[in-house]
């Protein structure tokens, strides 16, 4: 860990100057308390750095939570072994998962299936309690529950160091969460202009605790965080059903972990109650289980937190980009992607070139940097990978 300034601590051994400048700019905001913590996977983001932990006193920056509110991971350890899994038709299992879960941006379910009904009902009741209508943001939000999205979101069937089979996936609050986030970012920017608040970046506009705008944001943010968690639960149930059918018996869950990495919570740190916005970071209280995925084709990790107070009880959420999507598509080829995915069952398409492992920081370097923050329990290696275009 390195003290870059009194208000900026960094665990990142691989980081560029532009990202550091962005983090330093955020750390100088007057309501940051006690300091901003940069995770090992930190990289340039919109307004605030991805892979940063931002404690704020009496205010929240909506863009510091990000537009995919509640994005995170879920993993389940099953009773199956690698030897047993490899007796199944892996290509057919991948295709069945792809049929069971809508993939890619803008793809939703055609109907609300039985497993989704109680989850949708819970969200309807929660929205009513919060006093807002999610339909004002996304008319078909109910059909988004149980859909993956695109980009770095994924579904995987993996094995750990003992050859036990895990199901692992990464997604968030989909279009409805994005629309909620974008709305409140605009509200914060409008208020900054209205009150002549000078900001180093318009995306660092903030909402002040105690105002109606702040109260509404928290209510809708928490609804979106719940949507994201239930979205992952719904997809995991569908993956388990497909895996069980392929193996000829229902999945027995030995362990299930579900955690956010784009979210805000009110927490106590250094004797103060602050709002902690983790934009690409997971909560890593001592003993808390967590998930840190690598990039496409590399290892992922099941961890437990060490509760490091300097990191505000946080850890990285993944590998962290070193190439933008457009730069990666110019730099790498589909042949390089195929080499990186050798031995993994996946959909072979150049749509995934920007997700090639070389576009990300080496996950083993990230995990070495995070040794003070988490303890590795299991290392997962992909057998099947599913992504949206």
Catalytic residue numbers read 317
Cβ atoms of residues 40 and 8 within 8 Å: no
* Helix ranges (DSSP H) in the chain: 17-27, 62-65, 82-85, 90-100, 117-130, 141-144, 174-194, 212-247, 325-331, 334-340, 363-369
The whole-angstrom separation of Cα 39 and Cα 314 is 8
208: helix, strand or coil = strand
The whole-angstrom separation of Cα 131 and Cα 129 is 5
CA 161: distance to chain centroid? 24
Give the residue from 229, 241, 232, 231 showing the smallest Cα distance to 100.
241
Q: Which two tokens stand for residue 63?
A: 């863009």
Q: Which two tokens stand for residue 367?
A: 């995990």
54-90 b/e with 16+ CB inside 10 Å = b?
bbbeebbbbbbbbbbbbbbbbbbbbebeeeebeebeb
* Axis crossing angle, helix 90-100 with helix 212-247, rounded to the nearest 10: 140
β-strand partners of 364: none
Counting every residue written for the chain, the total comes to: 389
CA 114: distance to chain centroid? 26
The whole-angstrom separation of Cα 280 and Cα 338 is 28
Give the residue from 42, 13, 41 showing the smallest Cα distance to 27.
42
Give the residue from 318, 316, 172 showing the smallest Cα distance to 258.
172
The whole-angstrom separation of Cα 20 and Cα 13 is 12
The whole-angstrom separation of Cα 205 and Cα 64 is 9
Q: Which residue has the tokens 């509200």?
A: 187
């Amino acid at each position: 860990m390195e003290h870059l300034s009194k208000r900026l601590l960094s665990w990142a051994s691989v980081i560029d100057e532009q990202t550091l400048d962005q983090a330093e700019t955020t750390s100088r905001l007057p309501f940051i308390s006690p300091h901003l913590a940069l995770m090992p996977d930190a990289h340039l983001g919109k307004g605030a750095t991805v892979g940063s932990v931002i404690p704020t006193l009496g205010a929240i920056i909506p863009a510091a939570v990000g537009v995919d509110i509640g994005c995170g991971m879920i993993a389940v350890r099953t009773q199956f072994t690698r030897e047993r899994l490899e007796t199944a038709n892996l290509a057919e299992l991948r295709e069945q998962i792809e049929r069971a879960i809508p993939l890619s941006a803008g793809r939703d379910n055609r109907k609300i299936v039985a497993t989704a009904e109680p989850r949708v009902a819970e969200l309807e009741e929660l929205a009513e309690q919060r006093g807002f209508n999610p339909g004002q943001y996304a008319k078909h939000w109910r059909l988004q529950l149980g859909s993956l999205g695109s980009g770095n979101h994924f579904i995987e069937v993996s094995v750990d160091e003992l050859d036990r089979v895990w199901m692992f996936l990464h997604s968030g609050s989909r279009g409805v969460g994005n629309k909620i986030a974008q709305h409140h970012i605009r509200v914060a920017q409008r208020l900054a202009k209205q009150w002549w608040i000078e900001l180093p970046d318009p995306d660092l506009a903030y909402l002040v605790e105690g105002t109606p705008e702040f109260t509404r944001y928290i209510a809708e943010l928490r609804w979106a965080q719940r949507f994201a968690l239930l979205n992952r639960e719904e997809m995991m149930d569908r993956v388990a059903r497909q895996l069980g059918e392929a193996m000829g018996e229902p999945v027995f869950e030995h362990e299930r972990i579900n955690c956010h990495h784009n979210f805000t919570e009110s927490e106590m740190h250094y004797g103060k109650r602050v709002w902690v916005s983790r934009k690409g970071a997971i909560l890593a209280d001592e003993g808390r289980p967590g998930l840190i995925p690598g990039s496409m084709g590399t290892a992922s990790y099941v961890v437990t937190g060490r509760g490091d107070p300097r990191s505000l009880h946080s850890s990285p959420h993944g590998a962290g980009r070193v190439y933008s999507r457009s730069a990666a598509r110019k730099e790498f080829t589909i042949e390089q992607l195929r080499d990186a995915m050798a031995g993994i069952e996946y959909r072979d398409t150049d749509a995934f070139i920007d997700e090639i492992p070389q576009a990300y920081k080496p996950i083993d370097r990230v995990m070495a940097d995070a040794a003070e923050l988490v303890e590795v329990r299991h290392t997962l290696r992909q057998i099947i990978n599913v992504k949206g275009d």
